[in-house]
Amino acid sequence: MDNFIVGVVVFPGSNCDRDVSWALEGCLDIRTKYLWHESSDLSDVDAIVLPGGFSYGDYLRCGAIARFSPLINALDEFVKSGKRVLGICNGFQILTESGFLPGALVANKNLNFICDDVELDIVSSKGGWFNIGEEKQTIKLPIAHGEGRYHCDSDTLKKLVDNELISLRYKNNPNGSSFDIAGITNEKGNVLGLMPHPERACDKTIGGTDGLFTLKSLILK
Amino acid sequence: MDQFAVKVFVRLRPSVLDPAGEATKSASIKLGAEGIKSLRIGKMIEVKIEGNGESEVREKIDLLCDRLFANTVIEDYEYALEKL
């Protein structure tokens, strides 16, 4: 993994960028590089993580302003080339706002900011982001969001189901998401967006290691 | 150049649950207001903009609404335009 570099995007208001970098570097020995949102040069990174936080203060809608950053503009080419992009929480919101993933994330049904560990069923391993081959098809990851209710129209939902684009579903839906959706991929499988935080579940001492597989899969070709 | 004042209204689509609206409706009833059948919360954005005539300005506002002010996956928009 010496030459593989994961770019961790930093927007004004990102607050999980260092956690992601810590999990990749400290737990998985994968090199990372912070990418300021105004940079559009992605030539020296092999995969990208859009971390959680409150980019641009969540003004207008979560992820709505971040979508117009030079980096997100450059992401189109990056995704088309087949390289991997992982959007976590606010990163997922940015991926839906910018059209890389369908649907939208809206305010939790109960209006609360929910900070909890949740059990998730791995529904699809499209793109190799989750380990579905073995016995354990349920994982536990932390969530921390106020606007994580996944919403899409019925045609989109059918397309997600038919094409196995739903990666994760909540066992006990905490936020009112359509079809209990917690994470989805694009059709090619190289873009994953999810509300739970795998980077916060990479070390036994902080409560679990179920996030390791997803972060490790960033290095898949 | 003509100047226009535009009021853009952005609303959650009817099919999207509005929990903030529901909570406000519940508080309205606690306040003693009777007869509230539905209450939904949207946004109003005021823009002052100049351009060569109304149709050019409408084009700009349409672009802004469609690409930025509203997320059409979950929201509808409409606007009222007044020449200054």
A53 secondary structure, DSSP code: B
How close does chain A come to B33, measured CA to CA in Å?
23
pLDDT at residue number A136: 62
Of A67, A93, A96, A106, which to mutate for an interface test with B (greatest number of B Cβ within 10 Å)? Answer: A106
A1 in contact with B, Cβ within 8 Å: no
pLDDT at residue number A131: 87
What is this structure's pTM? 0.92
Average pLDDT, integer, range B37-66: 96
Nearest to B6 by CA among B44, B43, B53, B47: B47
A147 secondary structure, DSSP code: S
pLDDT at residue number A3: 87
Is residue B82 predicted with pLDDT exceeding 80?
A: yes
Residues of chain A with pLDDT under 50: none
Q: Do B15 and A153 touch (CB under 8 A)?
A: yes
Contact A122, A137 (CB under 8 A): yes
At residue A58, the 3 state secondary structure works out as helix
**Tokens 């960033």 found at:** A218
**Which of B17, B23, B68 has its CB closest to that of A64?**
B68
Partners of A208 in the β-ladder: A203
User: Using CA atoms, how far apart are residues A109 and A199, in angstroms rounded to an integer?
Assistant: 25
Q: Which residues of B touch A64 (CB under 8 A)?
A: 68, 71
User: Using CA atoms, how far apart are residues B21 and A152, in angstroms rounded to an integer?
Assistant: 20
pLDDT at residue number A135: 64
Per-residue model confidence as pLDDT tens digits over B10-42: 999 999 999 999 999 999 999 999 999 999 999
pLDDT at residue number A128: 94
**Which of B15, B19, B73 has its CB closest to that of A109?**
B19
Residue A115 known to be catalytic: no
Instruction: Give me the catalytic one of A16, A62, A89, A152.
Output: A89
Residue A147 known to be catalytic: no
Instruction: Give me the catalytic one of A145, A147, A197, A202.
Output: A197
User: Using CA atoms, how far apart are residues A115 and B36, in angstroms rounded to an integer?
Assistant: 33
A109 in contact with B, Cβ within 8 Å: yes
B65's tokens: 């609404």
